[in-house]
Structure 1
Amino acid sequence: MQRALLAALLVGMTAPVVGVYLVQRRLALIGDGLGHVALTGVGLGVLTGSSPVLVALGASVLGAVAIELVRARGRASADIALAVMFYGGIAGGVVLIGLSPEGTPANLNAYLFGAITTTTGTDLWVFGVLSLVVLAVAVGLAPRLFAVSNDEEYARASGMNVLGLNVLLAVLTASTVVISMRIVGLLLISALMILPNAIAQVTATSFRSSVVVAIGVGVVVSTGGTTLSYYADTPSGGTIVLLAIAVFVVATVAAWLRGVVHGRRHHDEREHRHEHGPECGHEAVPHRDHVDYVHDGHRHAAHGAHYDDH
């Protein structure tokens, strides 16, 4: 469990940092595709007796570079080529694992859906090094990665190497997939990249604050989900993702309620460019000890410096 919690902490910090750029580029599901490609690397590693983590890293990095090159060409058939790559990745992984002497449903499920308690000391060292590299690059090149993710034409006009930065982001995504596969599984990793950032979008007010919120949420749901799965005897990956979804629902409802309350309190600032009165042109309706004015289908009454709906 100590190794499991450390691995969850690493993933909780790393996945949202990379995911924020994927959300900006509207590539929320790219992690799923790279997870499929990484499964072929896992199967090859199991079949040859090599380290599945390192072989999966190589396969996913190659797949990420190929994906970005296909996207850069911008042809209509790009989506089909990516789909073939993704489906071929998961099919190849299943077949290779099935051919290996150790190929059992348990091994396959561990990589597909996560088995955090099977994380070894060697895995933890690999995850730690990869996490440090990913965090260092993502934070150090944040202005450039943000520019490319937000507006490629502006970045290109500013002299940035757009293709190189896109390939670098794809490699960071592939590395994050490998870091996370033992924790949440290759089929669920995209959720841990995207959900913390979705929560940050409805709670934060700037890009920098959204990154901080996303990292905080990622750490809480990954470590909290791991702890909960231990006591509830449930799969760690599914528990982490369900906890993240629950936090997202709560944050969304809270943001909606806050918006409703804020909208009522400050309706006057948005809608009332003048003061209501006998000559304002709006219908006056006596209401108890004051007068309401009908405006845009609502009855507004002055209370101090603002107007309330009645």
Structure 2
Amino acid sequence: MSILSYSFMQYALVAAVVTGLSAPAVGTFVVQRRMALLGDGLGHVALTGVALGLLTGVAPLGTAIIVAVGGAVLLEVLRSVGRTSGDLALAMLFYGGLAGGVLLTNLADESAAKLNQYLFGSIITMSRTDLAIVVVLALVVIATTIALRPQLFAVCQDESQAQVMGVPVRLYGMLIAVLAAVTITVAMRTVGLLLVSALMVVPVAASQQVTRSFRATHLAAMAIGLFSAVAGLLVSYQIDTQPGPTIVVIALAVFVIASLARGVLHARPRQEAVHG
């Protein structure tokens, strides 16, 4: 019997596809902006949102989105307006989000197993309502990053230059942070809050090994993310492992292969030059 004959696997496959595309779509700009750990910081903030949902009885996905977006806005304000550096502001959110999440979970009297569904992902337990929200948000993220790629790239590459060109730097910087927050909540049921940053960063790092332009890197990262998410889901079903870690391991394997391929390709011209 085909694994797609099960409804939960159909839901999981759709979620894997949109997550695999949306995470690297935003991650490309996050990496270009040298904020690769943004996903980790906002992931811990989203954990507070999940715990708040468990405490109040509200759907954790909804509260996680609200809290993560709020954290992203606060981070960007501290980074661009206040005297706090980006790394320090991110660290504050990282620790505060983790502490708040654990504290609220304890108050909600929830088991560790319940929290693990969000920390490490639980894609096969996703409901139809959760799936609909994830798909809609992921499509918005993908469409936005593609439509505004030139403006977002300008902000990530050189804020001062972008400002001289008339680009609203703070607005687009805020947009990147908000898109990252939304993507994290989209991916938390797929790879989990502790591993979501890997799906945002690793496919981008892999694509950078084999591409030369930013546009090519962006598209290749989305392709690698898609492959990793779908392959990870199918492999995890076959070998009975959690999908989240399996997806990340496959993405890392792609990065290693891409890095080796780049090394071989770069070494060949040097060898030809020596022997020539």
Mapped contact 1:134–1:172 kept (Cα < 8 A): yes
Residue 10 (structure 1) aligned to one of 15, 18, 28? 18
Superposition map of 1:193-232 within 5 A: 193-232=200-239
Superposition map of 1:128-207 within 5 A: 128-207=135-214
Mapped contact 1:65–1:167 kept (Cα < 8 A): yes
The higher relative CO (CA closer than 8 Å, separation ≥ 6) is in: 2
Higher Rg: 1
Give the alignment's TM-score, normalised by structure 2: 0.94
**Structure 1 residue 78: deviation in Å?**
5.6
Q: Which residue is equivalent to 2:118?
A: 111
Residue 251 (structure 1) aligned to one of 235, 243, 258? 258
Moved >3 Å (runs of 4+): 76-82
SS state of the match for residue 203, structure 1?
Answer: coil
Matched, 1:54 2:62: yes
Report the AA paired with residue 238 of structure 2.
Answer: Y
Report the AA paired with residue 254 of structure 2.
Answer: V
Q: Distance in 1 between matches of 2:258 and 2:269?
A: 16
Q: Are the structure 2 counterparts of residues 137 and 77 from structure 1 closer, same or farther at C-alpha, using a change threshold of 3 Å?
A: closer
Sequence identity percentage: 48
Q: Distance in 2 between matches of 1:222 and 1:182?
A: 12
Report the AA paired with residue 80 of structure 2.
Answer: A
1:177-210 Cα deviation digits (max 9, x unpaired) = 0000001010110100111110110011211111
**Structure 1 residue 137: deviation in Å?**
1.3
Report the AA paired with residue 99 of structure 1.
Answer: L
What is the alpha-carbon root mean square deviation over aligned residues?
Answer: 1.3
Matched, 1:37 2:37: no
**Structure 1 residue 76: deviation in Å?**
5.1
1:237-282 Cα deviation digits (max 9, x unpaired) = 11111111111111101110111112222x2xxxxxxxxxxxxxxx
Q: Distance in 2 between matches of 1:252 and 1:108?
A: 35
Q: Which residue is equivalent to 1:95?
A: 103
Superposition map of 1:59-70 within 5 A: 59-70=67-78
Q: Bigger shift: 128-137 or 47-56?
A: 128-137
Q: Are the structure 2 counterparts of residues 49 and 184 from structure 1 closer, same or farther at C-alpha, using a change threshold of 3 Å?
A: same
Report the AA paired with residue 156 of structure 1.
Answer: Q
1:86-143 Cα deviation digits (max 9, x unpaired) = 2111111112122225x11111111111111111111100001101211121111111
**Structure 1 residue 145: deviation in Å?**
0.3
Mapped contact 1:196–1:215 kept (Cα < 8 A): yes
Q: Distance in 2 between matches of 1:78 and 1:120?
A: 36
Mapped contact 1:65–1:171 kept (Cα < 8 A): yes
If each structure's strand is expressed as a fraction of its own residues, which one has the higher value?
1
Mapped contact 2:42–2:184 kept (Cα < 8 A): yes
Mapped contact 2:38–2:90 kept (Cα < 8 A): no
> Which 5+ residue runs of structure 1 have no aligned equivalent?
268-299, 301-307
Q: Are the structure 2 counterparts of residues 71 and 256 from structure 1 closer, same or farther at C-alpha, using a change threshold of 3 Å?
A: same
Mapped contact 2:78–2:84 kept (Cα < 8 A): no
Q: Distance in 2 between matches of 1:75 and 1:49?
A: 38
If each structure's helix is expressed as a fraction of its own residues, which one has the higher value?
2
Q: Distance in 1 between matches of 2:63 and 2:244?
A: 22
Q: Distance in 2 between matches of 1:81 and 1:168?
A: 17
**Structure 1 residue 73: deviation in Å?**
3.0
> Which 5+ residue runs of structure 2 have no aligned equivalent?
1-8
Mapped contact 1:94–1:108 kept (Cα < 8 A): no
Q: Distance in 1 between matches of 2:203 and 2:267?
A: 24
Give the alignment's TM-score, normalised by structure 1: 0.84
Q: Are the structure 2 counterparts of residues 198 and 81 from structure 1 closer, same or farther at C-alpha, using a change threshold of 3 Å?
A: closer
Mapped contact 1:70–1:78 kept (Cα < 8 A): yes
Q: Distance in 1 between matches of 2:124 and 2:106?
A: 23
**Structure 1 residue 74: deviation in Å?**
5.7
Q: Are the structure 2 counterparts of residues 45 and 195 from structure 1 closer, same or farther at C-alpha, using a change threshold of 3 Å?
A: same
